[in-house]
Amino acid sequence: MKRSLIVVPAILALLAGGLAVGPHAESVALAAPAPKKTPDPCAHAKSKWQHMQCEEYDASAPGDQYFGRLKLSYLGIDNTFRDMAIEAGDYTTSPAILSRLHFALNALRQWEQLYPHDPQLSRTYFLGVQVYRKVYTQHAQQIAWDFIQKLLKNYPNDYFGKIMKADTAHGFTEHWFAQAQPCPTPLPKGATPAPPTPTPSPSPTPRAGQPNVQILTPPCIPPPSPSPSPSAAASSGPAVSPSP
């Protein structure tokens, strides 16, 4: 009798304290807590311009951070693109230039992966277009096209984005060399070559949103010159026998 008198007040106390009893007790107990709001690091900015400057600074890569296998800073990547654009001249397929561009591109990929919203990337993409459009290989021309798309999509109101938009308003044409073919075998003396049969090749029509393509024909590869046959040893005078 005394035990039942003690249990009843305990149950009433639990109900008064807010303990959920019933079919919804499990759902209330397993309710997820409200997500915490991430604090704005630029909340101290007093104007929109200062807030934008703060966000760009917060998204920028440090000047003393290096990327890629050669540990290039973002200024080193820009300088490599600028210097190679000068060395390339009108066009190039130089292996030395391609090697230096390979390491600069490797550093750029790591930079844009770590700091995808860095505002300095627009300048680097612009310089990359200037050099890669001069490298007449299919891979390099595709890289230049990808840089153009990133400028137009991610930086439409940026200075370099506006320049690229005006530059490509009438389209963009990729240039690369076809595979070189061996030169034809020279005809013997007195033989007349047959007139060539014209084979017109229609220019490919680019798909929507794709650049034009111009494939250039490189000079033919001359056949290897025959190696000179060893000349017979010149006959000498009568052999002189050694004196005893």
Does 225 or 85 have the greater pLDDT score?
A: 85
- At 41-54, the pLDDT tens digits run 676 666 655 555 67
Residue 219's pLDDT is 78
Flag whether pLDDT at 15 surpasses 70.
no
What is the domain partition of the chain in residue ranges? 70-168
Residue 157's pLDDT is 93
Q: The pTM is what?
A: 0.64
Please identify which residue in the block is written with the tokens 């929507």: 208
C-alpha distance from residue 240 to each of 30, 232, 237, 243, 244 (Å):
116, 21, 9, 9, 12
Query: In the structure, what pLDDT confidence band is assigned to residue 125 with cuts at 50, 70 and 90?
Result: very high
- At 143-165, the pLDDT tens digits run 999 999 999 999 999 999 999 99
Structure tokens belonging to residue 91: 């066009």
For range 68-95, the mean pLDDT: 95
Structure tokens belonging to residue 114: 């770590």
Phi first, then psi, for residue 142 (nearest 5°) are: -70, -35
Flag whether pLDDT at 28 surpasses 50.
no
- At 177-232, the pLDDT tens digits run 887 778 877 777 766 766 555 444 445 566 667 888 888 887 777 777 766 666 54
Q: Which of 140, 138, 206 is nearest to 172 (CA)?
A: 206
Flag whether pLDDT at 124 surpasses 70.
yes
Q: Which of 90, 70, 74, 71 is nearest to 131 (CA)?
A: 90
**For 35-54, b where at least 16 C-beta lie within 10 A, e where not — what string?**
eeeeeeeeeeeeeeeeeeeb
